Amino acid sequence: MFSTLKSLDNKKLAKYAVSFTGNPDFQEDVLDWVLDGNSDLYKEVIATPGGTGAVGMSIENCLEAGQTLIIPEIAWGSYSLMAQMHNLKTKSYSLFEGDHFNLDSLKATCKAVMEEQDRLVLIINDPCQNPTGYSMTRKEWEDVIEFLNECSKTHSVVLINDIAYIDFAYEGAKAKEYFRCFDKISDDVAVIVAFSISKSLTSYGLRCGAAILMAKTQEGVDELKVVFEKTARATWSNVNNGAMETFSTIMRTKKDEYLAEKQKYVDLLKARSDLFVKQAEEAGLVHYPYKEGFFVTLAMDNDKCDRLHAALMENQIYTVKVNKGIRIAVCSMPLHVIDGLAARIKAVEDQLD
């Protein structure tokens, strides 16, 4: 990736993009790469500074001050922060019922919010959910879309699908097949897919991403596009041209090389997560359902979370507190560090009781 970036002509690195919505080649390449032929919906692409830009502008544009954004109970903390920045409230749905997605909680939360406002905007971070590493099944996605279609009979509905970690899903291209479920949305449902090139190219500082606007009709997409264009122009003006050119160059001339390199790191990630999950189960260390991705999250209430996190710090085990859990970044640890880590954490946990 970096060799591709450094090989670009200085004029490409220095110039503005063709449009503040992104270069045409970039927009086409995003659709081809992300959706991989798995959708027949009408769609448009707005270039953003990272996946964060895509999520943030979606929240800003789809709700009015004082309204409520629906988010997972266990989630990336910035969702709540973004809502606060735009004078929005949040309401959370329980993420799990046993070892599967808690559809009943999502339904109840949506219905409660629908009693208070004329629109429904919700975030589902999938696949490779941050922080739990859960990925929904095709059936779970079908059930969600069926429910949102019911909601759209009385309310406008926007689903924000944050796919920041999708390119590290263990099934590769197969992980994108769930996008087909979106083709069944009704005319009053829109989907915004928030894509992070910064994650997919493992270059977090090279801020680049995209909001993919999807709807049943071109009119539905155009209504979103007009607002998103103005927001992009007024907020960041122009997304890094060098980053967009790098992505397009890789997609058009070096895709096989990129796929091979990416697979090497996906395999490494799987080896790390397999080891930690296996040893966590052997040690009796309870975690939320994990399928794939960068993180495994230990399950507990917030009081215990505070106490265990402090105790782990004292034992030179550095983790991240999240709502109702402690996040373990298996993505960042070599196998020799992961080996035995679960038992060490369990030993510290047992000292709390």
Task: Write the CB contacts of 259 (distance below 8 Å, at least 6 apart in sequence).
Answer: none
pLDDT on residue 2: 80
In the structure, what pLDDT confidence band is assigned to residue 131 with cuts at 50, 70 and 90?
A: very high
CA distance 289 to 337: 22
Per-residue pLDDT tens over the stretch 222-275: 999 999 999 999 999 999 999 999 999 999 999 999 999 999 999 999 999 999
Answer yes or no: is pLDDT of 54 > 90.
yes
CA distance 168 to 170: 6
Phi, psi of 186, deg, nearest 5: -85, 175
pLDDT on residue 6: 86
pTM here?
Answer: 0.96
In the structure, what pLDDT confidence band is assigned to residue 205 with cuts at 50, 70 and 90?
A: confident
pLDDT on residue 308: 96
Answer yes or no: is pLDDT of 125 > 90.
yes
**Rounded average pLDDT over 69-92:** 97
pLDDT on residue 3: 84
pLDDT on residue 184: 98
Average pLDDT, rounded, for the chain: 96
Q: How far apart are the first and last CA of the chain?
A: 48
Q: 322-347: b or e for each residue (b if 16 or more CB lie within 10 Å)? A: bbbbbbbebbeeeeeebeebbebbbe
CA distance 203 to 30: 17
Answer yes or no: is pLDDT of 353 > 80.
no
Residue 201 or 183, more confident? 183
Residue at 228: amino acid letter: F
Residue with tokens 């899903």: 169
Per-residue pLDDT tens over the stretch 298-343: 999 999 999 999 999 999 999 999 999 999 999 999 999 999 999 9
pLDDT on residue 154: 97
How do strand 189-196 and strand 320-322 relate by DSSP bridges? unpaired
Q: Which two tokens stand for residue 86?
A: 């735009």
Per-residue pLDDT tens over the stretch 3-21: 888 888 898 889 888 888 9
Kindly write down the DSSP assignment for every residue of 157-195, as one continuous string. Answer: EEEEEE-TTGGG-TTGGGGGGGGGGGGG--TTEEEEEEE
